Amino acid sequence: MAVGPTIKQLMSTYKGKIRLVVKNYPYKYRDYSYLAAEASLAALDQGKYWEMYEMLLKNSPALDRSSLIKYAQQLGLDVKKFTDSLDTMKHSAAVERDEKLAADLDLFNTPTFFINGQKVIGNRPYDYFKKIIEQELKHAKQ
């Protein structure tokens, strides 16, 4: 079960009622995970974050520099801007801030979700998330 389709469905079902905030947490034992985080943010600069996110998931573990540049080309990104962003580690402060947040929250697993402070670790089915969201929306109305 992939997280992506579940989250897309939730965002569609609860459009305007919930908000998704994504943080980077490169897996320290995985080659190129930090570079992949940089690539997703470089794609965000060009309005293609989710497209790159899906490309990275689909093609993992091929996340080396040349593969990332190939994905940028396939997505129609300005490859020079993308490559410059990777090479200068333009988003390293954001990635490092996210890593610190994960450490401060005592997180070790991805994905991890927080729904109004309630921690949900790992891939979960749509109905699992729906139940929590419905409870939280109900509490918000009271």
pLDDT of residue 3: 64
> What residue spans define the domains of the chain?
1-21+107-142, 26-106
Angular region, 5: left φ>0, alpha ψ -120 to 50, beta rest: alpha
Q: What angle do CA 25, 28, 31 make, to 5 degrees?
A: 105
Tell me the pLDDT tens digit for each residue of 23-79.
998 877 567 999 999 999 999 999 999 999 999 989 988 999 999 999 999 999 999
The helix (H) or strand (E) run that includes residue 74 is helix 65-74
d(CA 87, CA 104): 28
CB atoms < 10 A from the CB of 132, how many?
15
d(CA 16, CA 58): 28
pTM of the model: 0.84
Tell me the pLDDT tens digit for each residue of 117-135.
999 999 899 999 999 999 9
Of 87, 85, 38, 33, residue with least CA distance to 61: 33
